[in-house]
A and B are shown apart, each in its own frame.
Chain A
Amino acid sequence: MTMRETDARIEARGLTKHYGGIAAVDDVSFTVEPGSVTGFLGPNGAGKTTTLRMILGLVRPDRGRATIGGTAYADLAAPLEIVGAALDSTGFHPGRAGLDHLRIYAAAAALPSSRATTVLDAVGLGDVGSRKVGGYSLGMRQRLALATALLGDPSVLVLDEPANGLDPEGILWLRRFLKEYADTGRSVLVSSHVLTEMQQLVDRAVILHRGRLIRQATLVDLAAEHGDLETAFFNLTTDQETRP
């Protein structure tokens, strides 16, 4: 697992992005350590999605740089085998079968088509692979997005609000799945605005508010200081607002 551990570190340094003169993300730096589940937390509009998309080379930062194991995403030779990302539960052609969607990206990453079946089974969609995605529920789409992320058996998983649309059973399943994933020495960066969901899932928290990083800490430290994650978040964001 030593190889995994060196691959798996995400480093964001001074990431900044403006939209129409407003800083959506302002000088954000943090590290995601291998073998941990890091929660990327903040209310809607805090800049979480923009930051994740900058890390993955989809959005060009105005300033700053992000690397994965020391390399920018766009320079990774086999990106899907290093980083698996599920950013968008709507990113599917409605007329295409779920299995075909996966086979398309398996091919693009030069992976065998059998990976498509394997990951579809892994997320519990094995029975509906031949059905068109247009007929999937939001929860099924979330699972298909996760399956896409798993195609390359990556060292790092980056998930943007993966619990949206999952029922309580699905959230439990996701939590267990991510724990097992991280236990193999791989890292997970998972964003959410639902703090109670994250409490039992993450080891570390990176907290974003109005485009700025307000804290990165282990959950143990946050709990010692504030009691629980929700209180920590409330205290930290209130501090931020009352500062001059």
Chain B
Amino acid sequence: MRPLITSEIRKLFSTKLWLWLLLASMALTALYAALLIGFSDDPDTLTAPLDSAAGQQTLFAVASGGANTLVAVLAAIGITGEFRHRTATSTFLATPRRWKVVAAKLAVYTATGAAYAVVCLLVVASIAGPWLNLKGIDLTLLGNGLPATYAGVVADVTIFAVLGVGLGALVRNQVGAVVGLLVYRFVAEPIVTAVPALTDWTAYLPGSASAALTQVSLSTQDYLAPWAGGLVLAGYGLVLAVLGARVSMSRDIT
């Protein structure tokens, strides 16, 4: 597997997409954090006060939302790009056991996802530190249950990489995979989750399972325990990846 992982690392870093999506994740995280802090004194805010543990956990959890969808997009583009740019021919000539390519991409994109999460958490810390200080709020980075939030963010973004690889492996079509991912995340699931009669079920959807990892949600949706959310989310990713590797990737490369 080592040579294949080296190969996938070189694929990822020999084009600029990883950098653009990292910058976008950082910008999105900064925007979320700034909005959350900026409106924290608003009487209508849904967020707990920022001098409370719950408030600070919510603040750091925005790193999830900043990075997870874009990491899934990066991973999905990474695997569907093999078909879009017809590099799948060279890839599968070098590695005729195609599942190994999927496994190597999972390894590389999950590590990339974890790195994105860490960077986005640092973005939150660098905004929250001085800004909360100005407001006279003491922020202890290792206090108030924040380490559990960091762990949840890293787990969440990492698992989203599995979802991206799995979806890309199954769909193979780049536009289809990316559009499908974005429509699901920002349109389909929010609509379904908003139906009160369904809340027992919607806790098991990927977006709610993702929220369970950080135990932070701005919607009224209940969520699972963090470990359960993580397992459910990883389950979706792995089922997609295994289906993709077994069904879709074994199709003819013409």
Give me the interface of A with B, judged by CB distance under 8 Å: 49-50, 53, 56-60, 73-76, 79-80, 83, 85, 87-88, 90-97, 100-101, 103-105, 107-110, 148
- With CB as the reference atom, state the residue of chain A lying closest to B95: A108
Q: How many cross-chain pairs have Cβ atoms below 8 Å apart between A and B?
A: 84
Q: Is the CB of A59 within 8 A of B253?
A: yes
B16 at the interface (CB under 8 A from A): yes
Q: Which residues of A contact B219 (CB under 8 A)?
A: none
Known: A74-B96, A91-B85, A100-B14. A108 touches B252 (CB 8 A): no
In whole angstroms, what is the CA distance A97 to B7 when docked? 15
B74 → A minimal CB distance (Å): 14
Instruction: Please give me the residue from chain B that is nearest to A84 by CB atom.
Output: B93
Query: Which residues between 4 and 21 of chain B lie within 8 Å of chain A, taking CB atoms?
Result: 4, 6-7, 10-11, 14-17
Chain B residues with Cβ under 8 A from A97's Cβ?
14
A87 to B85 alpha-carbon distance, docked (Å): 14
A109→B6 CA distance, assembly (Å): 10
Q: Are B96 and A79 in contact (CB under 8 A)?
A: yes
A93 and B81 CA atoms in complex are apart in Å by 8
0 or 1 for each of B75-116: is its CB under 8 Å from A? (1 = yes): 000000100011111111111110000000000000000000
- Chain A residues with CB below 8 A from B93, complex form: 56, 58, 79-80, 83, 85
| Chain A neighbourhood of B89, CB < 8 A | 58, 87-88, 91
Given known contacts A104-B11, A107-B7, is B86 in contact with A90 (CB within 8 Å)? yes
B133 within 8 A of A: no
Distance to closest chain B CB from A4 (angstroms): 20
Q: A87-B89, A100-B10 are in contact. Are A109 and B252 (CB under 8 A)?
A: no
CA distance A56 to B92 in the complex (A): 9
B254 touches A80 (CB 8 A): no
Are A91 and B15 also in contact (CB < 8 A) when A58-B253, A73-B96, A100-B10 are? no
Candidates A58, A104, A107, A148; contact of B92 at CB < 8 Å: A58
Pick the contact of A108: B7, B14, B17, B81 (CB < 8 A).
B7
Docked complex Cα distance between A90 and B88 (Å): 11
* CB pair B252 A53 closer than 8 Å: yes
Contact B252 A59 (CB under 8 A): yes
0/1 interface trace, chain B 25-44, chain A, CB 8 Å (1 if under)? 00000000000000000000
